Every structure is written in C-alpha cells, then in structure tokens.
Amino acid sequence: MNSLTFAPAHQLARMIRDREVSAVEVLDAYLVQIYKHNSKLNAVCTLDEDNARKRAKLADEALARGENWGVLHGVPITIKDIFATAGIRTTAGYIPLKDYVPEQDATAVARLRAAGAVIVGKTNMAELAGDYQSTNSLFPRVNNPWNLEYTAGGSSGGSAAAVAAGLSPLDLGNDIGGSVRQPAHFCGVYGLKLTDRRISTMGMIPEVPGMPYCLRQMMTVGCLARSIADIRLCFSLIAGADLRRPDVPPVSLDPPSGKPLQNCKIAWIDEWREVPVDAEIRALIVAIAQKIADTGACIERWLPKDFALSTAWNIYGRMAAYINNYAQPKDIYNIRRSLTLIWRTATQGDKQLRKIGNFSRFLPEILRPSLRGYFETLTKRSLYCAN
C-alpha cells in the first residue's frame, strides 16, 4: 500500500496500463492513506470517494476492453479547491461559496480528466488564495506533514501537504505571488509556476463566479508533485490554447533542443541584497551549480546590477492591489481576511521582510484605484521585466 501511495504518477499509470495493479487498488491505497492521516493534516477538504470509485472501476473495465483513456488512465489525483470541478464542491475556502458545485470543469481540470485521471477530492487552501499560509473560515488550518506544529504554506498548502504525505501523487495549484512555490518548499515537494498565459485560468477562483475577468497579469496555473517527470507530464497535458480564454496563445511546447550542455550559458545566484539566504539552502545551491559546471556548461554567478527585491515587490504589490480590487468581492469575509493579512505583514516576522512586504502601503491603490495608476504600474512592470 505504502509503495503505491509514494510512487510517482507516471509510474502508477504504467503499472495500471500493464495490469500490474488495478486502478481500484491504487485508489484504495490512497483512500487508506487519506483516512489515516488527513484528520491531522487537513489537506483534503472535500473527498469525492463514491465518484472516484466509480471512475476507477470504469477505468479498469475500459482497459479490459483494450481502451486507454490517456497517459493518466486510472491514476487518482487531487485538485486545489480553487479550480472548478464539475459535480464536486468548489469553495476556495470562502464562506459564500460553501455550497457551490460547478457544472463545468476548469480547463486544466478537464484536460487532466481527459488524460484519464481519477479525481479523488479537493485540497484545502488559503481563503480566496490570499495568504501565505492555508487558513480559511470553512476548514481547519492545513498542517505541515513533517511537523504538525508548522504551517504547510499558502495558498496551495493543502496541495503540497497532500502530495508530501502520500495522499495524492499530483495536484493542481495556482500562483500569483508564491502560492505554488512557497508550499512546495515548505513541504519538500516539486512545484512549478509557469509563464503568464501558458495555461488557461478558465474556471479558476478568483475570479469569484459572477465577478468580471480581471486577473490578466501574473496569475498562473501550476502543478505540484513528488518528481520532475510528473511535473513535466502534467504541464504537457494542461498547457495550450483555450477557446474559453482567447488571450492564451496557441504556442506549442518546444521539445528539448538537444544542444550540448557545453554550449549553454547558465546564470545562478545564492544571495539577495535585502534578505539573507539560509546557509543550508545556499550550500545546496552551490553544490548544484558545481555539478552543472562539471558537465562542461558555462555557469556564472550573476545578479542584474539594477535588480532590487524591494522594487520588484513594490511593483507586484501595486499590481495585485489593482487587479484584486475588481476580481474579488468587497464583503465582510474578504475585507476581514485582507485586513488580517495587512496587519500580520506589518507586525510579524523578520523586520527587513516586514519593511519589504508590508501590504499596508498599497492601501491607496486598494481604496482609490485609478485607470492611470493601473497603466503606470503596468508600464513599470514591463520595463522592469525587460531590464
């Protein structure tokens, strides 16, 4: 059982396809793991066991007939509660959505289903994906599987905790300011934040159903897994144009060029001017850089001379303030959550980080947004990216 729950998704798919194990047996192994550990982790907030069992049974019957649904045929996965899932409650940890059951899948979810995946349930998260730890008004706080007294991070804390604890081999997340990367780091799994518009955000909250489509910058769909191969596989399945999101370009995935590593020039850095890097992390980065150098690649320790984390954070904060003004409702639940986050970033943690990440300085954009200010911030962002 334990060997199944910690096997990578692509290996499970092969085992099911080769009839070494049935889809039902794999699902049962994950359900045992969920029932054993989830009460302490609070990673899975909605379990869809009955429908998952039906889907797994159908997957086995299809294979018996010689049918293969796709590269994830019969593999159980979980989905962050921010993505619409047809027939499965989708709350984003937000009280007004506590009984919301979408009729249609988010695009990324639909593509994983089309590849044969079995959705076991939804994973817990920060309310409306707006926090660095996964707390909300509907479900208990997500705890870190390595130490229950620690946070799993946010906003995709349930996704990262579920993957790390063997409750799921693969999960979808989203990221605008660290929501995939930070929980992946905290829980010791792989997480990938992709380029804007590489993957369709259709069916993802925010926006809350009924709100206008405003999150057109920075918000991306990502994935979390225990292996790079699974990250690559998930990306290949969910990327690409979407008729429901015409701003996602029909750009094909480029195959590896085959260029020898000796012809590659790679930049790396192990420090930031404003904040210290943990000694253990720095040692690992140095070790990785040396391994790459040993292959013959040209590797250079480099940071753009005009790059400042505080400047990048300031542009990000202003952009987030403008776009979230219209993507999220102004009700008591959301206002309370926003004020709590502003208070915490202004009063808790490292003094230097508080100075950089204090959201209270973006109150003018939140309270008095202007079209001119929005376009000025867009321009600053474009210029900073270009430099």
Structure tokens at 210: 């009924």
CA distance 267 to 241: 31
Rounded CA gap, 237 and 71, in Å?
9
Cβ neighbours around 19 below 10 Å, total: 10
- Catalytic residue, candidates 80, 122, 159, 168: 80
Under the phi-then-psi rule, with left for phi > 0, alpha for psi from -120 to 50, and beta for the rest, what region is 127?
A: beta
Q: Which of 134, 179, 200, 338 is catalytic?
A: 179
22 is a catalytic site residue: no
Rounded CA gap, 29 and 25, in Å? 6
User: Which tokens hold the place of 266?
Assistant: 């790679």
CB 47 within 8 A of CB 78: no
User: Coil, helix or strand for 50?
Assistant: helix
d(CA 128, CA 132): 12
179 has catalytic annotation: yes
Identify whether 80 is a catalytic site residue: yes
- Active-site positions? 80, 155, 179
